[in-house]
Structure 1
Amino acid sequence: MTAVRATAVTAAACATVLAAALPSSAINSYNATPAPERTEVGALVATWDDDSDPATPDRVDWVCSGTMIDTDTFLTAAHCTSDWPAGVRFFVSLDQDVQAGLDAAARRHPGDPAAQANAVAVEGTAHTHPAYPGPASDSHDIAVVELPAAEAAARWRFTPAALPTANQLGALGPQGLNSTDWFVAGYGTQEAVNGPGGQTHPGGGVRLKAPVTFDALNDAWVRLGMTAPQGNGGACYGDSGGPNFAVVGGRTILAATTVTGDTPCYATNVTYRLDTPGARAFLTPFVKLP
């Protein structure tokens, strides 16, 4: 699920993504490092209403992760942009520490969520896959946020992520996929921590990266191992929509986006392939594909 929507809005759509699994949204604490160099990776920020006056937003928070795939297109997950209250507004921040930025903005603009969001992010227009939520075999859990390119360029310097060619992952075959270096990035929380009252997922809001390893390839999904003994890190709550990169032929490509995984965030990151006909058809109106 997203970082805050488990309590802010319905999580019904999230539950349909994959049976008995919850959408992921964070980078684990083990084997993870800060990722200030991944300037194309950003956080999805939302403002929304949770009282009886939808005309004015009264909540603001970062809710998911994502990646710039050209100068004005931010790729994320459909469950991050769906099932919000009327009047929700979406923003994108490429700051390394978006939580610190929001905290500072809250002190400067108390009671003004829109001003707080604008202080750290650029507002855009969300486009969610029209067939989301689909079946477990392909949930169509993909969305983009279109930004004003001039505003994004004025605030940040980044090189958009390179997308895969058609069926690039499938063409690698099992041996090629196993020998490929993979890593995940995002702003999410840490793995489950036991404490009084049950499990919690601390942290979040800072861009991190961690190595992962290939596990399985399906028609719409890449499953990636994130078990600590193998030297892996992984995704957790808040990393939804964020990138999973693969280094193919010496070139880093954005192979898939984080969608779901195991509830405590210890074992598997289930990611949505970007080299499939369905993903490419959705992206075609927004970005030039390789």
Structure 2
Amino acid sequence: MTAVPIRVGAATVAACAIVLSAALPSSAINSYNATPAPERTEVGALVATWDNDDDPATPDRVDWVCSGTMIDADTFLTAAHCTTDWPSNVRFYVSLDQDVQGGLDQAAARHPGDPAAAARAVGVEGTAHNHPGYPGPASDTRDISVVELPAAKVKARWSFSPATLPTAGQLGALGPRGLRDTSFSVAGYGTQEARRGPGGHTHPGGGVRMKAPVTYDALNGAWLRLAMTAPQGNGGACYGDSGGPNFAVLNGTLTLVATTITGDSPCYATNVTYRLDSPGARAFLSPFVKLP
């Protein structure tokens, strides 16, 4: 998996996803210490259609662009940099399929030249709501958004239990020792860590839901940093995992504590994630979902 660096626009995310998904769409997240996550049915991919030619009336591109999580029956949580800086005719869809890239490939073959049909084949269309303060300062970029979906259409296609959100300040209350003793994991549809080749670095894979263990590194304000280093048994996030979930087992419950935002560009060391127990995140989410 790979996170998109802070302040990189969603159009850039889309371009990265397109290039990378053409390489090896059979896997996601870092290749080391990672496994498929078919049981994480609340974790999904953000799919977009948009215009890329001189006729803005109809979309001509479609791709999965980010990751995210269902936090109630009709609310998909992702990152604001995934849903901003798009052409005016962008339309967002959410897919909870395990292999979204494979589904898009099949749909493209069935519906040549019809990106909207391909998007409908894998996902349900929704409306994005970005944090009104994005992008904020480095201390809290407010990089959070939701996509509101028609609950009946989502229920008709997928069965899932929404992710459990943390209580206010729950991570901070654990303290450094408690955080070090907490089991963390990351999930998403993103690409693998950098590979060296004749043409330079590439990030293969992407479009398939994967998961990997990560460990606590640091906590402050709006941010939770998680270590992705392989010698410690960790996996990690990479490009296309932005907006996706970082879970922690708190009091015996798998809890969605943060969303992937950025990290080191080769995707080897650190996943920088946006805390969902912070006052800013909770204030943004409160109109869309019942908070614990």
Fold conserved (TM > 0.5)?
yes
CA positional deviation for 1:27: 1.2
CA positional deviation for 1:192: 0.1
Report the counterpart of residue 22 of structure 1 in structure 2. none
AA at the equivalent of 2:105: D
CA positional deviation for 1:52: 1.3
Q: Does 1:215 align with 2:217?
A: yes
CA positional deviation for 1:45: 0.1
Question: Contact 2:10/2:82 (CA < 8 Å) preserved in 1?
Answer: no
Q: Does 1:283 align with 2:285?
A: yes
Question: Contact 1:3/1:238 (CA < 8 Å) preserved in 2?
Answer: no
AA at the equivalent of 1:170: G
CA positional deviation for 1:5: 3.7
Question: Contact 1:261/1:268 (CA < 8 Å) preserved in 2?
Answer: yes
Q: Does 1:108 align with 2:114?
A: no
Structure-2 separation of matches of 1:4 and 1:198: 24
Report the counterpart of residue 235 of structure 2 in structure 1. 233
CA positional deviation for 1:6: 2.7
Query: SS of the counterpart of 1:152?
Result: helix
Q: Does 1:69 align with 2:75?
A: no
Structure-1 separation of matches of 2:140 and 2:102: 36
- Structure 2 spans left out of the alignment, 5+ residues: 17-27
Structure-1 separation of matches of 2:15 and 2:46: 16
CA positional deviation for 1:161: 0.1
Report the counterpart of residue 156 of structure 1 in structure 2. 158
Report the counterpart of residue 200 of structure 2 in structure 1. 198
Question: Contact 2:13/2:66 (CA < 8 Å) preserved in 1?
Answer: no
CA positional deviation for 1:249: 1.1
CA positional deviation for 1:4: 8.3
CA positional deviation for 1:248: 0.8
Structure-1 separation of matches of 2:125 and 2:224: 31
AA at the equivalent of 2:280: G
Report the counterpart of residue 130 of structure 2 in structure 1. 128
Runs of 4+ in 1 over 3 A off after TM superposition: 2-5, 7-10
Query: SS of the counterpart of 2:167?
Result: coil
Report the counterpart of residue 23 of structure 2 in structure 1. none
CA positional deviation for 1:147: 0.3
CA positional deviation for 1:3: 11
Question: Contact 1:91/1:124 (CA < 8 Å) preserved in 2?
Answer: yes
AA at the equivalent of 2:124: V
**CA 1:204/1:4 → structure 2, altered by over 3 Å: closer, same or farther?**
farther
The C-alpha deviation readout for 1:61-90, integer Å capped at 9, x for no partner, is: 000000000000000000000000111000
Question: Contact 1:128/1:142 (CA < 8 Å) preserved in 2?
Answer: yes
Question: Contact 2:134/2:141 (CA < 8 Å) preserved in 1?
Answer: yes
The C-alpha deviation readout for 1:104-131, integer Å capped at 9, x for no partner, is: 0000000000000000000000000000
Question: Contact 2:193/2:266 (CA < 8 Å) preserved in 1?
Answer: yes
AA at the equivalent of 1:34: P
Query: SS of the counterpart of 2:241?
Result: coil
CA positional deviation for 1:8: 5.4
- Structure 1 spans left out of the alignment, 5+ residues: 11-25
AA at the equivalent of 1:200: T
Task: Tell me which of 34, 55, 58 is aligned to 2:57.
Answer: 55
The C-alpha deviation readout for 1:196-230, integer Å capped at 9, x for no partner, is: 11000000000000000000001000000000000
Task: Tell me which of 252, 255, 258 is aligned to 2:254.
Answer: 252
